Amino acid sequence: MTQLSQQWLSFSAPGWRQLLLFKAGWLALVLQPVYSAAVVALLLVWFIWQLKPQQRQAMFTLWGSGLLLDTVLYASGLFQFDTVWLPYWLLLLWGWFSLFWLMLFSRWLQSPVLVALFGLVGGPLAYWGGAQLSTNMLILDGAEFWLVMAPAWAALLLWSRQTEAWWHSYYTKMQRSRTHVH
């Protein structure tokens, strides 16, 4: 890997480059999902391949939990798409967010209070921004959207933080038991 690609495509020292990469993927999927989905999917697979097993498990846990949350919120009418279920670009976006949450945002936000605040503000704003930019998504007007999304996202990210710790602990115990057996 060249030094330039190492700076952009490595999470060993996450910083502004990875933040820009996250935002570029988010914008591409929201604005031009037809043209960007394949590129984001390939990058996502490449990044997942580089993760440690416990990181991969934590990422897939958040990805699945986020899709479950969105399915419930979609069924409740909080937001709408021009599809029967969640659109393919949102499925990818959940993977993209889950990766960057684990490798970037979660590292920056060490306090549970900061994690909750990030969810309270960032979650609803991401959907609101997506609805403003996309022709495929509508959100419920009024306070109900914000009153449901903010605590849902705070809880989701706090849950994700707990699962990160759980998977780390699980794999650490597994590693110890393997070294004691051999």
150-159 pLDDT, tens digit per residue, is 999 999 999 9
Task: Please tell me the distance from the alpha carbon of residue 66 to that of residue 89, in angstroms, as a whole number.
Answer: 14
pLDDT at residue 179, as a whole number: 80
Q: 54 or 136: which carries more pLDDT confidence?
A: 54
* pLDDT at residue 99 tops 60: yes
In what helix (H) or strand (E) does residue 65 lie, and over which residues does it extend? helix 53-75
C-alpha atoms less than 13 angstroms from C-alpha of 147 in its C-beta half-sphere: 4
The SS3 of residue 137 is strand
* pLDDT at residue 137 tops 70: yes
Q: How far from each other are the two terminal CA atoms of the chain, in whole angstroms?
A: 35
Question: pLDDT band at residue 178, thresholds of 50, 70 and 90?
Answer: confident
Question: pLDDT band at residue 7, thresholds of 50, 70 and 90?
Answer: low
Cβ-based burial of 154 (10 A; exposed 0-12, middle 13-18, buried ≥19): buried
Cβ-based burial of 38 (10 A; exposed 0-12, middle 13-18, buried ≥19): exposed
Q: 141 or 182: which carries more pLDDT confidence?
A: 141
Average pLDDT, integer, range 64-75: 97
**Tens digit of each residue's pLDDT (9 = 90 or more) over 71-92:** 999 999 999 998 999 999 999 9
Average pLDDT, integer, range 27-47: 96
Question: pLDDT band at residue 62, thresholds of 50, 70 and 90?
Answer: very high
C-alpha atoms less than 13 angstroms from C-alpha of 71 in its C-beta half-sphere: 9
Task: Please tell me the distance from the alpha carbon of residue 102 to that of residue 63, in angstroms, as a whole number.
Answer: 11
pLDDT > 70 fraction of the chain, expressed in percent and rounded:
91
Task: Please tell me the distance from the alpha carbon of residue 138 to that of residue 128, in angstroms, as a whole number.
Answer: 9
